[in-house]
Copies of this chain bind each other. A is one copy, B any other.
Amino acid sequence: MEGKENGPDGKKPGRVIDGPTNPMVTPLLNDLYQFTMAYAYWKAGKQSERSVFDLYFRKNPFGGEYTIFAGLEECIKFLANFNLTDEEIDFVRDSLPGCEEAFCDYLRGLDCSDVEVYAIPEGSVVFPKVPLLRIEGPVAVVQLLETPFLNLINYASLVATNAARHRFVAGKSKLLLEFGARRAQGPDGAISASKYCYLGGFDATSNVAAGKLFGIPLRGTHSHAFVSSFMSLDEIVDKALRSSDGKSTCEDFVSLVQTCLTKIQNSSSLHGVFSETNQSELAAFTSYALAFPSSFLALVDTYDVMKSGIPNFCAVALALNELGYKAVGIRLDSGDLAYQSTEARKFFCAIERELNVPDFGKMIITASNDLNEETVDALNKQGHEVDAFGIGTNLVTCYAQAALGCVFKLVEINNQPRIKLSEDVTKVSIPCKKRTYRLFGKEGYPLVDIMTGENEPPPKVGERLLCRHPFNESKRAYVVPQRVEELLKCYWRGNADEAREELEPLKEIRNRCIKQLENMRPDHMRRLNPTPYKVSVSAKLYDFIHFLWLNEAPVGELH
């Protein structure tokens, strides 16, 4: 991608951050009302009033009790390059009825040099109500960040969480491959999915663009179409294959494969398991092995896994073995994966044993048919021999819950705390510019997150602290933290020269995610009835919230 209109203009100091991955992320990726409000603020002379907004979600997704925060890097890249082109400004003007020309001049000068962003580091395990980002700046500018920030964080965090949940159920030792490009919600859905699934603990993707953009390892074999594009072994013209050490050449690899197939057919324990295998499949496998002798992996379910796919694969793998190559394994894409993987493993082990081929039983078995958390869990309970899961549709579209509901709420303007009321108490916002801390207990697990007013003293290690539920007055606990971590760190200070957090490589973000997940108390993580993690406010903030609430809520009148 090059030539982004909204890229850095090189004129402003300290702006050396690249633009967002997707060049379509411009200030126009916005709800119209952000611009109508900007205009109304500007008309009222309020556009520069200092405001503080919190970005947070209200409920963990997928019936779980944790969420992975992702999307921050893209937000900062967007913000660092925030600038409206003349063409964009013309379009905005034409979209606002009665818009004065002077407002266009105002838009022309807009950037984020007066904005500050504090955020929890990307890849962190996060919880409802605690601000993921605190954004401070001129109210009209900050409102223009609302829609793009929500768009960049909602799906990123949702799919990263989905990936983490799949990793949890699959276990550490399995290889997890993201195969979602074809079913994702649009091209960017695909590329973001690959990025954030990797962040959430996947090992690789099939998406070449994501591999190139983010350095994610790539995986892929061949499809059923490849198999059915072959008719017979006669099609293979160039039959020669050099041995792995380069010292010799097998002039007729096709015959070698056929010899190996006969050997399997005649071996005592495999005799009678299968009869004739499909010859077009054998031709496809042989041809694929000639192209990739050192990384041969075959899709074995085009015709019949046990009667054709596995024997054909083994014949080719044995032939490769004779030339010093080691086949990688197979992919199963239909049917009963538990049964097929177990039978395939038996077959491989029989060959290792009978034909004396070391490690043949360790062939990698990949499974990839409409998998999700539930099916992987069910496979585990049933017992299987799958080493790698390729997961697509359910993972990338977050089929079990297709949206995360992050919101962006005004909590302070002109140093006046603001609260958003609602008849639904879970929708009442927590006012004030706040600080947030994670308190850790004796065993090293995080115990509780606490929000305090900006100027309250921070919690201290070893000192007893009252943590209150923000809305339920009877829910309180004293905590003596063994470790205190301030959650919000400064990622953007506008033009100020002070230090701020650097954007980290994806791999480090991924490591943070994996490490934090490992450090969670197990009962928060389990799939069935997990224990909610506690989110609290200080006693002082509690009192202030309820003072403000009563102050703003109208008193009903009964007649």
Q: Which residues in B have their C-beta under 8 angstroms from that of A225?
A: 37, 53, 143, 408-410, 420
| Interface residues in A366-402 (C-beta closer than 8 Å to B) | 393, 397-399, 401-402
Q: Is the CB of A291 within 8 A of B186?
A: no
Max count, chain B CB within 10 A of own CB: residue among A26, A98, A159, A291: A291
Q: How far is the CB of A6 from chain B (nearest CB, A)?
A: 10
Q: Is the CB of A222 within 8 A of B155?
A: no
In the complex the two chains form, what is the Cα distance from A7 to B20 in whole Å? Answer: 20
- Give 1 or 0 for each of A71-113: 1 = CB within 8 Å of chain B CB: 0000000000000000010011001111000000000000000
Q: Which residues in B have their C-beta under 8 angstroms from that of A40?
A: 222, 226, 287-288, 290-292
Q: Which residues in B have their C-beta under 8 angstroms from that of A191?
A: 24, 29, 186
In the complex the two chains form, what is the Cα distance from A308 to B159 in whole Å? Answer: 40
Q: Is the CB of A224 within 8 A of B420?
A: yes
Q: Is the CB of B238 within 8 A of A44?
A: yes
Q: Is the CB of A1 within 8 A of B29?
A: no
In the complex the two chains form, what is the Cα distance from A156 to B238 in whole Å? Answer: 43
Q: Which residues in B have their C-beta under 8 angstroms from that of A24?
A: 1, 21-24, 187-188, 191, 209
Q: Is the CB of B151 within 8 A of A36?
A: no
Question: Is A182's CB within 8 Å of the partner chain B?
Answer: yes
Q: Which residues in B have their C-beta under 8 angstroms from that of A293?
A: 98
Binding site secondary structure of chain A: loop
Q: How far is the CB of A191 from chain B (nearest CB, A)?
A: 6
In the complex the two chains form, what is the Cα distance from A454 to B159 in whole Å? Answer: 44
Q: Is the CB of A181 within 8 A of B29?
A: yes
Known: A28-B209, A36-B220, A44-B291. Is A187-B187 also a contact (CB below 8 A)? no
Q: How far is the CB of A137 from chain B (nearest CB, A)?
A: 13
In the complex the two chains form, what is the Cα distance from A228 to B413 in whole Å? Answer: 9
| Interface residues in A275-308 (C-beta closer than 8 Å to B) | 275-276, 278, 287-288, 290-295, 302-304, 307-308
Tell me which of A349-357, A484-492, A506-514, A551-559 binds B.
Answer: A551-559
Q: Which residues in B have their C-beta under 8 angstroms from that of A307?
A: 554, 556
In the complex the two chains form, what is the Cα distance from A39 to B222 in whole Å? Answer: 11
Q: Which residues in B have their C-beta under 8 angstroms from that of A422?
A: 334
- Give 1 or 0 for each of A411-441: 1 = CB within 8 Å of chain B CB: 0010010111111100100000000000000
Q: Which residues in B have their C-beta under 8 angstroms from that of A211?
A: 32, 91, 95
Tell me which of A229-237, A258-266, A470-478 binds B.
Answer: A229-237
Q: How far is the CB of A535 from chain B (nearest CB, A)?
A: 22
- A205 closest partner in B (C-beta): B32
Q: Is the CB of B222 within 8 A of A33?
A: yes
Q: Which residues in B have their C-beta under 8 angstroms from that of A189?
A: 155, 185-186, 188-189
Q: Is the CB of B423 within 8 A of A335?
A: yes
Q: Is the CB of A292 within 8 A of B154?
A: no
Q: Is the CB of B30 within 8 A of A397?
A: no
Known: A150-B182, A155-B189. Is A237-B45 also a contact (CB below 8 A)? yes
Q: Is the CB of A402 within 8 A of B398?
A: yes
Q: Which residues in B have their C-beta under 8 angstroms from that of A23?
A: 1, 23-24
For A185, give its contact among B31, B33, B184, B303 (CB under 8 Å).
B184
Question: Is A49's CB within 8 Å of the partner chain B?
Answer: yes
Q: Is the CB of A30 within 8 A of B405?
A: no
Q: How far is the CB of A4 from chain B (nearest CB, A)?
A: 8
Question: Is A318's CB within 8 Å of the partner chain B?
Answer: no
Question: Is A136's CB within 8 Å of the partner chain B?
Answer: no
Listed A/B pairs (18) with beta-carbon separation below 8 Å: A22-B187, A30-B209, A31-B208, A32-B219, A35-B220, A40-B222, A40-B290, A44-B238, A44-B290, A91-B212, A154-B182, A155-B184, A185-B185, A225-B409, A228-B420, A334-B422, A335-B423, A397-B403
